[in-house]
Structure 1
Amino acid sequence: MKLFGLLLGCGLSQTLDERVAILEDAVMQQHKEIDQLKQRLTKAETEISVLESSLTCGGAAFHDVCGCASGYAYYQGECVPSDEAAARAWIEEFNVDYQFYVHDASDAYFAYETNITDANLAAAGAASARFGAWYSAHIPHAIRVFDWKNFEDPLLKRQFSKLLGNSNSLNAEDSAALNNAMNNMNKIYASGTVGDADRCVYLEGAEEGGVALEGIMANSLDYNERLWSWLGWRTNVGDALRPHFETYVEMKNKWAQVNGFEDYGQYWRSDYEMPEDNFNDMAVTEYEKIEPLYVQLHAYVRYRLGEVFGNDIFDQDDGLLPANVLGDMWGRFWTGLNQFVVPYPDAPDVDVTEELKAQGYDAKKMFQLSDDFFKSLGLERVNEIFWDKSVIERIPDVEMVCHPTAWDLGNGEDFRIKMCTDINMDYLLTIHHEMGHIQYDMQYAWQPPQFRDGGNEGFHEAMGEVMAMNVATPEHLRAIGLLGPAGDEETEYQTTINFLMFQALQQVATMPFTIMMENWRYASFNESITTDEWMEKFWQMKNEWVGVKAPAERTEESADPAALYHIANDYSMMRYYSRTIYQFQFQKVLCDACGHTGPLYTCDVYQCEAAGDKLKILMGKGSSQYWLDQLHEFTGDDEATMNADGMRDYYQPLMDWLVAENSRLGITPGWDASKTEYHPFDENMDFVGKCAENKAAPSVKPLPFADFIQQYIKA
């Protein structure tokens, strides 16, 4: 009836193409409704089964025998084995099919993110529905039959905990609201552009001969162009994200609460398995060790940026840095500022971008260089599937999500990376970071799916970072022919300070950004910050913690935090904070294994198989063991915990240099968040321009959100 009505309603004035489009939309809607009915039917059948079991057993608990012999439980009209041996056999069989369905769905999602079309959208939705139907049909057996919380085998108990520990679901209405919010945030972020009369600009992965917003934020010498880019992204993306982000926070809190948590922030912190939920307190305490270095770095950067963009912008009484001049769209990493703040411009430059280009590096050659690095440690090379299936450059004339991500597609052999590589130092380090994720994935591939993750979320991120920090050393860059030979003692000192500055712009600068962002989210989830003051409190915290201000006044209509990929896509940020500390602890262990002597910042573990042997053991454990136990074994220290002492010591030469240089320049470090001032700007900037004709309606369609896949994608 719906299709017949649509045919009558088309009218003779419409073209054949228009009528076909209307019919196609109607067919897709009917398929969607059929899928929803199938899911409701599966859920109803499960509920009936559970009810029958409860009634037959007179309301007894699921693990009671209900007239069955010892070691059996009543389920779906019969007595089935319920002891640990049966549980072990059940989960082994379950995992065979689980890997198939996860791979099926992950493959479809990868295809969609690398080629955003209606056909790929439909395929991803269908694959997600197949997984959901299979999962819903099988998981009630484990819930009803096995008393897993009382298992004697600790590994089996941990495995079931990973599978079932947070298995309660939202009701249908709330689940639909969450999925809709996540789908729309995905769509808005992926299709975001900023335009003016002459151009329509993507965030990253510029078209041939063009520029990306990230390129503007890293390289433009025009303060107002950076402001246009910064404000445009938050106007076109942040404003649109706001209502969906509010729904996301509300529904994620509801989900956390039905699974026994006070709020979603507490659920995230549970990844660290701290009995008193005090991991955030530990994280803040460790930052206090690094904060003095950050304050000195902030002051020096402020002075140098004043020379570039004008002291009238930077001589204001507040001492705050405008957020639009910090090297990327969010001020998360300051490596784009190296060209402006390098301490010794005449000393060898550890940013080897120009050398990469001079030597003819392309994306594949950069990835092969990274693969060689891992092989030199005695670790695994990536397989042919990786080279065949990965997408490492923007595909011409195809809309895709360019944000770099490493994918474990769930079957133990299919690993891929998706990114739009540019030929520069930042991307060289990003490649090693993402390949670090892939190496971790390969090393724990022998584990059951429930344990295919890092010891905690920060371990996985740290593994990528520790590889990148080795590659960035002058020692390594010389070893692979991207940096000239060492000079005299004075030249080497200057090269060292340049190197430590380059590293600090990424590692030190990101720490207050990340810990502040996560504490804002924790406060938003626990409602100590209410929705009507989100932006106000966000920028207050940004001013106070980070010494950074918005370049223009912000309002509650926007959602500046969500204009970052990780926030819009439901990633915890604590993983990126804790990894920055872990990587120095990991590096110390690896360098000791290699017999390194001298300062840690001179260590490069390239070609050291002893380091690889240590890494194999740690990575191979996956999440099968509590992270502190893993850290104790890896370091050989039974008292080891997350500790920033190593990071502070690593940067001591730079700290000494910054204190002396700031004093020489007459710079007073610090800022006053109570005196925020804004530089005048053109309030009639155009943020749409040519984008109106290029993308009158975003071509990106909402992708069905699937929590189960996120474990396998590292950003």
Structure 2
Amino acid sequence: MGTKIQLEEALQFLREYDGEATDKCFRVSSAQWAYSTNMTDSNKRKMVEEQTLKAKFDKVTWRKAVEFDWTRLPDPMARRQIRMLTMISRASLSDEKYNEIHHLISEMKDLYAHVRICPFVPNRRSEEPIYCDLDIGDAQKIMANSRNSYELLHLWEEWHDKTGQPMKNKFMRYVNLANQAAALNGLLHAGEEMELVYETSEFQDELAESFQKILPLYKEFFAYVRSKLYKKYGSDVVKPNGPLPAHILGDIWAQDWSQIFDIVIPYSQFGTIDVTDAMLQQGFTPLRIFQMAEDFYTSIGLKPMTPEFWRFSLFEKPTSRKVQCTASAWDFCNKTDFRIKQCTEVNMENLITAHHEMAHIQYYLNYVDQPYLYRRGANPGFHEGVANSILLSVFNPVHFYRKGLINNKTDSYEKNINFLMLMALKKVAYAPFAYLVDQWRYQIFERGVTRMNSDWWKLRLRYQGVVPPKLRTESHFDAAAKRHIPADIPYVKYYVALILEFQIYKAMCEAAGDKGLLHTCDVYRSREAGRVLSDILRVGRARHWKDVIKMFTRGQTDKLSAEAFLEYFQPLYKWLQRANRNEPVIGWMTDKDDLALYQSLVGLGFRQNASKFVVNTVIIFNFLIHMNLY
């Protein structure tokens, strides 16, 4: 921390920063858009050049910011903004190491993007050629639709082997450099740096408290899903009382289980909602999908899209050039240009995605007049939390009925339970995964990289009840199968968003005067609900996120709370308790075979007494879980 305390000098520095940072943001966004929508080598080079200049600018900004003693500045806004700028701790590294860590991250992202895996070819003769050209999108589609456990195991192993092992050494060096940067800023490790952005010492306690409240619901849900998968695949794949193998949950990371809905549907004769056929019958186009999304937001009093949005957004996949099709919302930082990039197909999934991305645009539009540092969510989870809170109203039988996409509302008990089960496969299943990813990352930063893989699976088992389907050792690096790990993207924000989306949704429903069950609330055309949302959006990051929570909950709390999440799923929770009444284990029991999937006992010198060691370990492990001490 520096010695400068002159307020006018600090304010002048912030004014200059605001203008320069806005310009850099525009240039980087423009270059990234150009490459994403036309993936040529030339556009990639321009993008990398702009990103490199932005990284240098960030380092220069940090050097200027740390010249101030922000704790002694008399203006609270100046204090907070300069503190935010000093939190870019990697800028404390030497130029050589600063460039090295950015290069490492870029290399790992590039390795991940170019992974291609081999398809499952049963009974293939050795002389037959095989084309290993499946990317992550291809793998996910197969994982979602295949019910062949051998094929699922093959794809899972292929993806995890080919992502993790090639970048393991690079990741270990990245950890070392990130920790060096943290130490130069007076922190114990880089995990502490990641938490600074939440500006509260109680952050981890709030996360743990909310997760503990969700856990009883998750265990009931888990036990029910396991019983259905046991019936589907048998004891060779699924243990009746144990954890679940990661490859049969419809998703290569086992984070979203909605693709196995056909296996676990409570009332198969009643089905669930899918408005794709109705959209096709009504002549929907990609443009009409986005017009419908805009109608939702304007109906609750939010802003229409700008002329630039309709002129420059990419709504359909071009045929004449290669584009990066992942849906995304873009803020070009010039206060007028906001866009969505989405290779839209006419189906329900793309309709929901369009509403989600347009929620981000609404955030951009509403905090547009804030200083550059405040033009973002109140904390890193708010953008996703806001967008997903809207989806709880849109992906809703009541809303689809009002929009003429289904003929009747979901008013039968069976249809409601089916709908809630589908939502639980998306949301309840995701909660422990979203929580544990950065718990692992903090642990690696703090304790070191010697047991990265076993630490990963230890947390997967502890929080999620998921184990690898095959033996894994420390030569593997399975966490890297999730892009956010090698790409240096914090993940806890998605858990924060998961809790926030239900809190925000409930606040909007209360403002709208909805008196029904929470999962049936639709805030379409409610200006009162829109006012709750616009109050959140306008603030951006100008106020502490706890103040924003206190604002939209009308003073009831300033904490991340799982109460609204549990209220939403309460009817399903009661149903699960009845459905599981004959299940001997709610949750999962762990035995020596589960632990042996990722722990090498021979390497620890227990060759003669391995079995006894594992049994004793399991007894202690299960006791600690039972007592909520582990």
Q: TM-score, normalised by structure 1?
A: 0.76
Where in structure 2 are there 5+ consecutive unaligned residues? 120-129, 598-630
The match for 1:70 is none
Supply the distance in 2 between the matched residues of 1:328 and 1:358 (Cα, whole angstroms): 30
Q: Does 2:83 match 1:161?
A: yes
Supply the distance in 1 between the matched residues of 2:223 and 2:505 (Cα, whole angstroms): 29
Tell me the SS of whatever aligns to 1:290: helix
Letter in 2 for 1:150: R
After TM superposition, the structure 1 = structure 2 runs for residues 463-474 of structure 1, keeping only pairs within 5 Å, are: 463-474=386-397
After TM superposition, the structure 1 = structure 2 runs for residues 244-283 of structure 1, keeping only pairs within 5 Å, are: 244-274=170-200, 277-283=201-207
Tell me the CA shift for residue 401 of structure 1: 4.2
Tell me the CA shift for residue 89 of structure 1: 3.9
Tell me the SS of whatever aligns to 1:640: coil
The match for 1:96 is 19
Q: Retained in 2: the 8 A contact 1:497–1:654? A: yes
Letter in 2 for 1:155: M
Letter in 2 for 1:557: S
Tell me the CA shift for residue 400 of structure 1: 4.8
Q: Retained in 2: the 8 A contact 1:302–1:321? A: yes
Supply the distance in 2 between the matched residues of 1:537 and 1:405 (Cα, whole angstroms): 33
Supply the distance in 2 between the matched residues of 1:295 and 1:358 (Cα, whole angstroms): 41
Q: Does 2:135 match 1:217?
A: no
Over 3 Å counting, the alpha-carbon distance change for 1:225 and 1:384 in structure 2 is farther
Tell me the CA shift for residue 348 of structure 1: 4.9
Tell me the CA shift for residue 432 of structure 1: 2.6
Letter in 2 for 1:161: R
Tell me the SS of whatever aligns to 1:330: coil
Supply the distance in 2 between the matched residues of 1:218 and 1:667 (Cα, whole angstroms): 29
Over 3 Å counting, the alpha-carbon distance change for 1:251 and 1:513 in structure 2 is same
Q: Retained in 1: the 8 A contact 2:279–2:346? A: yes
Tell me the CA shift for residue 271 of structure 1: 1.8
Supply the distance in 2 between the matched residues of 1:355 and 1:96 (Cα, whole angstroms): 48
Tell me the CA shift for residue 359 of structure 1: 4.3
Letter in 1 for 2:175: V
Letter in 1 for 2:75: D
Supply the distance in 2 between the matched residues of 1:186 and 1:441 (Cα, whole angstroms): 27
Tell me the SS of whatever aligns to 2:339: strand
Tell me the CA shift for residue 323 of structure 1: 1.0
Over 3 Å counting, the alpha-carbon distance change for 1:250 and 1:678 in structure 2 is closer
The match for 2:294 is 371
Quick one: which of 549, 552, 570 aligns to 2:488? 570
Over 3 Å counting, the alpha-carbon distance change for 1:233 and 1:366 in structure 2 is farther
Q: Does 2:550 match 1:626?
A: no
Q: Retained in 2: the 8 A contact 1:553–1:678? A: no
Letter in 2 for 1:316: K
Quick one: which of 415, 431, 450 aligns to 1:511? 431
Q: Does 2:216 match 1:292?
A: yes
After TM superposition, the structure 1 = structure 2 runs for residues 310-349 of structure 1, keeping only pairs within 5 Å, are: 310-316=233-239, 319-349=242-272
Tell me the SS of whatever aligns to 2:580: helix
Over 3 Å counting, the alpha-carbon distance change for 1:243 and 1:137 in structure 2 is closer
Q: Retained in 1: the 8 A contact 2:241–2:585? A: no
Tell me the SS of whatever aligns to 2:252: coil
Q: Retained in 2: the 8 A contact 1:303–1:314? A: no
Letter in 2 for 1:302: R
Letter in 1 for 2:542: S
Q: Retained in 2: the 8 A contact 1:300–1:667? A: no
Letter in 2 for 1:152: P
Tell me the SS of whatever aligns to 1:407: strand
Supply the distance in 1 between the matched residues of 2:63 and 2:471 (Cα, whole angstroms): 52
After TM superposition, the structure 1 = structure 2 runs for residues 184-199 of structure 1, keeping only pairs within 5 Å, are: 184-196=107-119, 197=130
The match for 2:153 is 227
Supply the distance in 2 between the matched residues of 1:114 and 1:249 (Cα, whole angstroms): 33
Supply the distance in 2 between the matched residues of 1:138 and 1:537 (Cα, whole angstroms): 37
Tell me the CA shift for residue 216 of structure 1: 1.0
Quick one: which of 500, 506, 516 aligns to 2:420? 500
After TM superposition, the structure 1 = structure 2 runs for residues 697-712 of structure 1, keeping only pairs within 5 Å, are: none
Tell me the CA shift for residue 424 of structure 1: 4.4
Letter in 1 for 2:10: A
Over 3 Å counting, the alpha-carbon distance change for 1:143 and 1:649 in structure 2 is closer
Over 3 Å counting, the alpha-carbon distance change for 1:477 and 1:675 in structure 2 is farther
Letter in 2 for 1:519: Q
Tell me the CA shift for residue 494 of structure 1: 1.3
Query: Between the two proteins, what is the percent identity of the paired residues?
Result: 32
Over 3 Å counting, the alpha-carbon distance change for 1:514 and 1:134 in structure 2 is closer
Q: Does 2:560 match 1:642?
A: yes
Supply the distance in 2 between the matched residues of 1:245 and 1:400 (Cα, whole angstroms): 28
How many residue pairs get aligned? The number is 586
CA RMSD after TM alignment = 2.7
Supply the distance in 2 between the matched residues of 1:422 and 1:238 (Cα, whole angstroms): 32
Q: Retained in 2: the 8 A contact 1:539–1:549? A: yes
Tell me the CA shift for residue 422 of structure 1: 5.1
Superposed CA offset, 1:402-447 (max 9, x none): 4443332322223233444455444433333332222212211110
Q: Retained in 2: the 8 A contact 1:295–1:669? A: yes
Superposed CA offset, 1:578-604 (max 9, x none): 221122211121111111112211211
Tell me the SS of whatever aligns to 2:153: helix
Supply the distance in 1 between the matched residues of 2:88 and 2:56 (Cα, whole angstroms): 18
The match for 1:127 is 50
Q: Retained in 1: the 8 A contact 2:238–2:244? A: no
User: Whose RCO is larger (CA < 8 A, sep 6+)?
Assistant: 1
Q: Retained in 2: the 8 A contact 1:408–1:415? A: yes
Larger deviation: 84-93 or 242-251?
Answer: 84-93
Letter in 2 for 1:645: E
Supply the distance in 2 between the matched residues of 1:642 and 1:239 (Cα, whole angstroms): 37
Supply the distance in 1 between the matched residues of 2:215 and 2:69 (Cα, whole angstroms): 48
The match for 1:303 is 227
Tell me the SS of whatever aligns to 2:117: strand
The match for 1:669 is 586
The match for 1:475 is 398
Q: Does 2:139 match 1:237?
A: no
Tell me the CA shift for residue 241 of structure 1: 2.5
Over 3 Å counting, the alpha-carbon distance change for 1:677 and 1:422 in structure 2 is farther
Tell me the CA shift for residue 512 of structure 1: 0.9
Letter in 2 for 1:365: R
Quick one: which of 498, 504, 511 aligns to 1:580? 498
Tell me the SS of whatever aligns to 1:526: helix
Q: Retained in 2: the 8 A contact 1:326–1:337? A: yes
Q: Does 2:473 match 1:555?
A: yes
The match for 1:17 is none
Supply the distance in 1 between the matched residues of 2:434 and 2:61 (Cα, whole angstroms): 39
The match for 2:134 is 201
Tell me the CA shift for residue 358 of structure 1: 4.7
Tell me the CA shift for residue 104 of structure 1: 0.5
Supply the distance in 2 between the matched residues of 1:581 and 1:132 (Cα, whole angstroms): 32
The match for 2:602 is none
The match for 1:532 is 450
Quick one: which of 585, 589, 606 aligns to 2:524? 606
Supply the distance in 2 between the matched residues of 1:568 and 1:116 (Cα, whole angstroms): 22
Tell me the CA shift for residue 252 of structure 1: 1.8
Tell me the CA shift for residue 339 of structure 1: 2.5
Where in structure 1 are there 5+ consecutive unaligned residues? 1-59, 64-81, 205-211, 681-715
Over 3 Å counting, the alpha-carbon distance change for 1:661 and 1:412 in structure 2 is same
Tell me the CA shift for residue 631 of structure 1: 1.4
Tell me the CA shift for residue 376 of structure 1: 1.5
The match for 1:47 is none
The match for 1:522 is 442
Tell me the CA shift for residue 224 of structure 1: 2.1
Q: Does 2:459 match 1:541?
A: yes
Supply the distance in 1 between the matched residues of 2:491 and 2:52 (Cα, whole angstroms): 29
Over 3 Å counting, the alpha-carbon distance change for 1:218 and 1:358 in structure 2 is farther
The match for 1:415 is 338
Larger deviation: 628-637 or 411-420?
Answer: 411-420
Q: Retained in 2: the 8 A contact 1:524–1:534? A: yes
Supply the distance in 2 between the matched residues of 1:391 and 1:312 (Cα, whole angstroms): 48
Q: Retained in 2: the 8 A contact 1:166–1:259? A: no
Q: Retained in 1: the 8 A contact 2:302–2:534? A: yes
Letter in 2 for 1:493: Y
Structure of greater Rg: 1
Quick one: which of 359, 371, 385 aligns to 1:436? 359
